[in-house]
């Protein structure tokens, strides 16, 4: 098997010193010339929270390097943050974005690859795994692109786009990526998203006094649970819960695609949403995975397991893709506009697989009838930060991830095939590393498929592909139950 090329970006343990330039700013310097980092961006420069967004893109052809460079130059022109470095004053602790010269060749990594290797898929996985214990040189803007032109089972070429999370949230990067993309069927047209015209807000409208009081009560309960989680409320210690130091350990990022039609079949039969079905599938998959892990250590599965996901929730008024958008204060898409939801996952065994979806639907409906993401954002980003400062706020924010079991996000992707960086795409797989969580699951739709992207700490989840199998089999059983019930009724 071909060996993974050595990475000159490897820095060992990821710390704040690896991603920030430290200087002594003169009094008044940068107050007007340079933009200060937002509170959301500052969180990702606190110790133990050095997080990178990593998006894997498969293409139907090998990536042309010159064409890729042309699109990256366009990206820098439209999004100035990709030409800025982070500078921190040693004395005051303030952080600012400072414009910097960008040499595209410093951000584009094209390693020499042995074409006759035993497994290109394993090579790509190992290469990405090496990236998860590295960070980007702090003397240049915190992003890079890796081109791996080797044929795999699902692509002719692979592009890995990596950027520090302080540059923007997940939806910002997805919007940026899509603004540089076009429909494969129409090179002049932007991609179409399932919800391209309005926000993805779920909060139920309070139409009367009773429903209004219910929204307030649900919001209060959710906020109190969030506050307790920042201080002492921990999930059950299961084989899926990470140990301290997880943010600095090597990760495996694996993917598994399933049919969007199968998920919609279940959705329509149960009068649910796509997200309800996905949450139900994950609950069922976790049940299968935990049962096997406990059997391996000859231990019964504990009763009443508390297992929760930390979810970042988009608070934007619009999710439009704008080809001319720039990362400025006037751009609604860019920046940090997210709240938090703590979502419990019921992993008890259910004789009827459809019960997992029913419980997920019930749980999500309670979350919709609240203002939880707005309340948690106010608490985490505004109240605590202003009262106690960034250090305390950062520590409490990390505690939420330490005290829960995993992170979860679900994002609708393009409805038709697209070209990214001038190349027709077979799949999109966004993920993270550096987060203080043992498992992160990102779900994204693309054309007719839904892809589960697992970023797993090797010590916590040593067999992420088996967990992918559990998720796929769980969807199959839920779908078969729907079909069987439909046959009986008919």
Q: Which residues belong to the active site?
A: 165
**CB atoms inside a 10 Å sphere around CB 413:** 22
With contact defined as beta carbons under 8 Å apart, do 172 and 333 qualify? yes
CB-side exposure of 418: number of CA atoms within 13 Å? 22
Distance CA 53, CA 430 (A): 7
Phi, psi values for residue 222, rounded to 5°: -65, -40
Distance CA 266, CA 274 (A): 8
Report, in angstroms and rounded to the nearest whole number, the Rg of the chain calculated over CA atoms: 22
Non-local (6+) Cβ contacts of 130 within 8 A are 4, 7, 10
Non-local (6+) Cβ contacts of 324 within 8 A are 78, 179
Beta pairing, strands 423-433 & 52-59 = antiparallel
Distance CA 257, CA 87 (A): 40
Distance CA 435, CA 142 (A): 17
With contact defined as beta carbons under 8 Å apart, do 162 and 144 qualify? yes
Distance CA 398, CA 401 (A): 5
Distance CA 197, CA 371 (A): 22
With contact defined as beta carbons under 8 Å apart, do 342 and 310 qualify? yes
128: three-class secondary structure by DSSP: helix
Beta pairing, strands 182-183 & 251-259 = unpaired
Q: How many residues does the chain have?
A: 490
């Amino acid at each position: 098997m071909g060996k993974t090329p050595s990475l000159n970006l490897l820095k060992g343990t990821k710390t704040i010193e690896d991603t920030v330039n430290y200087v002594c700013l003169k009094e008044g310097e940068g107050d007007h010339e340079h933009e200060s980092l937002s509170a959301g961006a500052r969180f990702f420069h606190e110790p133990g929270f050095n997080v990178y967004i990593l998006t894997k893109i498969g293409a139907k052809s090998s990536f042309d390097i010159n064409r890729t460079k042309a699109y990256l130059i366009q990206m820098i022109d439209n999004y100035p943050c990709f030409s800025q470095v982070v500078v921190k004053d040693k004395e005051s602790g303030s952080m600012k974005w400072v414009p910097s010269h960008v040499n595209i060749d410093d951000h584009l990594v094209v390693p020499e690859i042995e074409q006759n290797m035993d497994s290109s898929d394993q090579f790509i996985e190992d290469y990405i795994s090496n990236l998860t214990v590295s960070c980007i040189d702090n003397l240049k803007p915190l992003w890079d692109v890796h081109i791996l032109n080797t044929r795999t089972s699902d692509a002719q070429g692979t592009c890995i786009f990596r950027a520090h999370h302080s540059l923007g949230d997940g939806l910002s990067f997805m919007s940026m990526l899509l603004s540089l993309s076009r429909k494969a069927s129409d090179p002049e047209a932007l991609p179409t998203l399932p919800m391209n015209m309005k926000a993805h807000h779920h909060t139920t409208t309070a139409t009367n006094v009773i429903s209004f009081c219910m929204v307030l009560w649900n919001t209060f309960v959710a906020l109190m649970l969030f506050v307790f989680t920042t201080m002492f409320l921990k999930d059950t210690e299961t084989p899926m819960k990470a140990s301290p130091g997880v943010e600095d350990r090597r990760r495996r990022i694996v993917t598994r695609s399933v049919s969007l039609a199968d998920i919609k079949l279940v959705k329509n039969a149960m009068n649910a949403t796509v997200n309800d079905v996905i949450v139900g599938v994950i609950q069922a998959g976790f049940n299968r995975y935990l049962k096997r892990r406990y059997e391996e250590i000859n231990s019964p599965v504990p009763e009443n397991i508390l297992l929760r996901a930390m979810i970042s929730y988009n608070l934007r008024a619009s999710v439009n893709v704008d080809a001319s958008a720039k990362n400025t204060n006037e751009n609604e898409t860019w920046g940090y506009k997210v709240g938090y939801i703590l979502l419990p996952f019921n992993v008890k065994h259910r004789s009827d697989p459809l019960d997992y979806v029913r419980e997920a639907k019930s749980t999500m409906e309670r979350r919709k009838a609240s203002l939880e993401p707005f309340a948690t954002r106010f608490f985490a980003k505004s109240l605590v930060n202003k009262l106690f400062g960034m250090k305390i706020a950062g520590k409490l924010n990390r505690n939420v991830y330490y005290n829960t079991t995993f992170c979860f996000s679900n994002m609708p992707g393009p409805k038709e095939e697209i070209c990214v960086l001038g190349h027709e795409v077979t799949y999109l797989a966004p993920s993270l590393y550096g987060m203080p969580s043992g498992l992160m699951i990102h779900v994204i739709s693309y054309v007719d498929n839904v892809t589960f992207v697992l970023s797993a700490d090797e010590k916590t989840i040593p067999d992420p592909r088996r967990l992918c199998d559990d998720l796929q089999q769980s969807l199959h059983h839920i779908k078969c139950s729907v079909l069987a019930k439909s046959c009986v009724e008919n």
